[in-house]
Amino acid sequence: MAYKRANEGIEKASKRIQLESESKEPIKLQLEQSDKRLQAIRNTLTEASKKLELSNIAHNESKQELIRVQNELDIAEEELDKRDMERIECDQHHRDLLDCRKRYTDLAKVPADYQRIIEMNGGLVEKNLEKDEEISECYMKLEKRIRDCNDGDDIDVEYSPKMKETESKLEVALQEKAFWESKATMIMDKVSFRSKKEVLEQFGPGPHFVKFVLSIEGYPDNESFLLELAPVDKMPHTIHTFLELIDKKMLTRGTLILAREHILVGGPVDAHDEVNNQQLEDLMLHEGYFPDGALLFSEYSEDHPHVQMTFGFNHLGDPIFYFNLHDNTELHGPKQTEEGYKEGDPCFGTVIEGLDVIQRIIAMPKTEDDSIETQVYIMDTQVVNIRA
251 and 305 assigned to the same domain: yes
Contact 150, 163 (CB under 8 A): yes
Give pLDDT, residue 163: 60
Residue 208 sits in a domain of what CATH number?
2.40.100.10
210 and 359 assigned to the same domain: yes
Q: Is residue 212, in this structure, part of any structural domain at all?
A: yes
Residue 50 pLDDT more than 80? no
287 and 376 assigned to the same domain: yes
Q: What is the pLDDT of residues 252-268, one digit of tens each?
A: 999 999 999 999 999 99
345-372 per-residue burial string, b: 16 or more CB within 10 A, e: under 16: bbbbbbbeebeebbeebbeeeeeeeeeb
Q: Is residue 163, in this structure, part of any structural domain at all?
A: yes
Q: Which of 82-91, 111-120, 124-133, 244-253: highest mean pLDDT?
A: 244-253
Strand ranges, E, within 66-172: none
**Averaged pLDDT score across all residues of the chain:** 78
Q: Is residue 7, in this structure, part of any structural domain at all?
A: no
311 and 340 assigned to the same domain: yes
Residue 119 pLDDT more than 60? no
Choose one of 183, 214, 232: the last residue of a domain. 183
Confidence of residue 100 (pLDDT cuts 50, 70, 90): low
Give pLDDT, residue 118: 41
Range of the domain at 140: 74-183
Number of structural domains in the chain: 2
Confidence of residue 338 (pLDDT cuts 50, 70, 90): confident
Contact 110, 64 (CB under 8 A): no
Higher model confidence: residue 73 or residue 113?
73
Q: Is residue 260, in this structure, part of any structural domain at all?
A: yes
Confidence of residue 121 (pLDDT cuts 50, 70, 90): very low
213 and 355 assigned to the same domain: yes
Give pLDDT, residue 368: 92
Confidence of residue 124 (pLDDT cuts 50, 70, 90): very low
Q: What is the pLDDT of residues 209-256, one digit of tens each?
A: 999 999 999 998 999 999 999 999 999 999 999 999 999 999 999 999
209-220 per-residue burial string, b: 16 or more CB within 10 A, e: under 16: bbbbebebeeee
pTM strictly above 0.75: no
Could you give the 3-state DSSP secondary structure of residue 183? helix
Mean pLDDT of 21-26: 61
